[in-house]
Structure 1
Amino acid sequence: MAVPFLWKAAALVEKHRTGLLAVSCAGLFGANLSYHVFPEQTFKLWYQCWCKGQPAELSEKLHSLFHDVLEDVGVKSVNCYQPFAAFGFHPVSAGIPWLPAGSLVGIPANFNSTAADRQGIVNRVVVINGREVDWESKQGLALKEALMFSPEAQKFAIAREIVYLQSNSPVVYAAVPPACLAGTCLSGVAIKQLLGLYSGPRVFRGIYNITIAAIGLVGYFLAYDAVSHTLDYRSDRRAATISKDYARGGVEFYDKILSRNRTLRMLLGKQGEKIYAPSGNLFPRYWFRLKHAPYTSRRDLIINILRVSQA
């Protein structure tokens, strides 16, 4: 009984494939862009840092730092970018500046820390492998040092998020799935017509459809990762070319991230060896995927920019 139903469903899809493809592509685009369209109701709720049951507030220092970065980047509509206190250890962002809801940039508490006052780090409970980190141990001191950034590194990290939003990167990301879906379907139909499979046995058509779907899925993963790497490098490059101080801050920022990951690799033991490489880069979660550009290559990109500017 299931087989006839499947053939009827396949026939219905064949009959209305253009409309279904258009609706599917629009739905994918909207779903991927939804939390950027409503960042206050989605993204902020997920990344908001809480303190004693209340949303944490950014310090005046970080508000001032954020507005300095907006000025350095050359943002004209400063009201389109709003900072908030985020959990984690480096900035995050979401939103589309030219939409009514604007954009949000999450700044972590450790950006409050200085060499003289590290309260943004040591007053937080960090649990790794079920145990609270001892900030006075050897590995705790190394982690504490890796979490403290200079003002230049902080500015680079925030500028990178602003540039990412300013260049409409969320829209580019959201366009990848529908573009891959449309490309897979249209090319699949064209090849099927070219090979004359419509007049062939249903079994052959079924095997062909499954093969095309698998190829399309792999193609989507590769295309998504390639776009992600391109946008990562572009944001780093634009932030680093603001000034030499920003470039130096970028080198420090990625050096500290690599140092933090190496420390976490030791603290996590065998689990850390599966997540972090000895260099501090992240291991791919899946063997054929690397969602973000390696931190070492991003640091090297900024080092080259700094060398060129100094030359």
Structure 2
Amino acid sequence: MNRKKASKPLFSYFTTPFGRKLTFIAAGTTTVGLFIGNFIPHTFFLDKYQEFVQCYKDGIPRPVPPEIKERLERAMNILNVPAYERRVLKPFTVYGFDMFSAGSTKSKYGGIIGIPTNYSYTSIDNIDRSEIRFRTEQIKWGSESGQMLQEALVLKEDEQIFGMCKTILEMQTQRVLLNSAFPSISFLAVYSVGSYLNQRMNLLAKPISLRLVMYAILGLFGVGSWSFMKDYNQVLYETSIDKQISTLGPDFVDAGRRFYDKLLKKNMALRALIGDDTYTSKGNENFYLRQKTLPLTIHKAFFEEEWNKLKGENQEAAQ
């Protein structure tokens, strides 16, 4: 009897005017906290973020080779990046085989562009195989998949510039601001609906189990809406960037289809070498329930289609 009486005030406290006020303050704090938690790694803690994804050798950050910096500068020239944006974009060598970006040109804190070490490879002979591992697993370079991985890691100069242009265009969007706002919007919407239903249906006077079910349903809805907004926004940006790059000329369309073809081959080779389901059999990232990015196969298909259109136009012009 004493245990039941002790537990009842604990839940009923939040139904009092002071308890509701405290809940409102907590909800407001959570809303702001969600925004700040997503925003500060791309602004105030950008340097710390870089240290986390930086590629090191003997405990020292790997420098970006001069020729890679020169290609990045060419990419900025092609995109006509304003001088003030160039000053806030800082290149560094990132861990892994893919381009990386954090921050934004829209922020006074700028952004960081992570360039993988394989961008310095000019041929298969330049690959330092002893340093390349995937999740601590040694790569079997002599296998068929190992050969495929080697070929996919060596990018031509125009393919590298394509990847850099794509990353720069991503950093010129409002992605950081929107991705920071989405969780706050979802949480605030869920809290508002829950508060409305509590008052409308007088749920505060009903068993706590009923409210817990409602909160669980609203929580799932909140997570789902946040995932949808974030993923949809990312896919929308990537689609727009592909179209924008395709307008830069036939050379970029050709480089784009080869760039994504090598990304797919790299992922397929890693899937075969490691034997897990990080990537699908076609080379796309395996996200299960979500679609965090546009599949690489769709990227490649877009540039293949644009390339075929250009070839058809050239053939018609030649006749």
Please indicate the TM-score interval, normalised by the length of the shorter structure.
0.7 to 0.9
- Give the corresponding residue for 2:304: 303
Task: Report the Cα distance in structure 2 between the residues aligned to 1:225 and 1:65, rounded to whole angstroms.
Answer: 30
What residue in structure 1 maps to residue 94 of structure 2? 86
Q: Secondary structure at the match of 2:242?
A: helix
The aligned counterpart of 1:95 is: 103
How far apart in 2 are the matches of 1:20 and 1:243?
53
Deviates more, 1:185-194 or 1:66-75: 185-194
Q: Report the structure number with the largest CA radius of gyration.
A: 2
Q: Residues 201-212 of structure 1: matches in 2 within 5 Å?
A: 201-212=207-218
Instruction: Give distance in 1, aligned partners of 2:272 and 2:260.
Output: 19
Distance 2:185 2:307 in 1: 36
CA shift for structure 1 position 14 = 2.5
Given the alignment of the two structures, is residue 280 of structure 1 paired with residue 286 of structure 2, yes or no? no
- Quick check: 83-92 or 209-218, which moved more? 209-218
- The alignment status of 1:249 with 2:252, answered yes or no, reads no
Match of 1:233 in 2: 239
CA distance in 1, matches of 2:200, 2:215: 14
Cα shift at 1:43: 1.8
Under a length normalisation based on structure 2, what TM-score does the superposition of the two structures give?
0.85
User: Do the aligned partners of residues 130 and 168 (structure 1) sit closer, same or farther apart at CA in structure 2, a change above 3 Å counting?
Assistant: closer
2:9 aligned with 1:4: yes
Alpha-carbon distance between aligned partners in 1 of 2:120 and 2:255, rounded to the nearest angstrom: 16
Say if 1:17 and 1:248 are closer, same or farther in 2 by CA, change over 3 A: farther
Local SS of the residue matching 2:131: coil
- CA change 1:106–1:129 in 2 (3 A) is closer
Secondary structure at 1:107 match in 2: strand
The farther-off stretch of 202-211 and 101-110 is: 202-211
**TM-score by structure 1 length?**
0.87
Task: Please say if 1:177 is aligned against 2:177.
Answer: no
Q: Contact 1:152–1:248 (CA<8 Å) still a contact in 2?
A: no
Q: Is the 8 A contact 1:126 1:132 kept in 2?
A: yes
Following superposition, the deviation at residue 3 of structure 1 comes to 4.8
Shift of 1:199: 5.2
**2:53 corresponds to 1:47:** yes
Structure-2 change in CA distance of 1:282 and 1:55 (3 Å): same
Aligned residues: 304
1:147 is matched with 153
How far did 1:201 drift? 4.8
Q: Percent identity?
A: 22
Mark the runs of 5 or more structure 1 residues left unpaired by the alignment: none
Distance 1:205-1:132 versus aligned 2 partners, 3 A rule: closer
Once residues 135 and 40 of structure 2 are traced to their aligned partners in structure 1, the CA distance between those partners, rounded to angstroms, is 34
User: CA RMSD for the aligned pairs?
Assistant: 2.5
Match of residue 35 from structure 2: 29
Select which of 72, 77, 81 maps to 2:78: 72
Q: Report the secondary structure of 1:41's partner residue.
A: helix
Counterpart code for 1:300 = A
Q: Is the 8 A contact 1:125 1:133 kept in 2?
A: no
Conserved 8 A contact 1:122-1:135: no
Q: Which amino acid aligns with 2:171?
A: L
| CA–CA distance in structure 2, aligned partners of residues 60 and 236 of structure 1 | 28
Tell me if structure 2 keeps the 8 A contact 1:25–1:182. yes
Cross-structure match for 2:290: 289
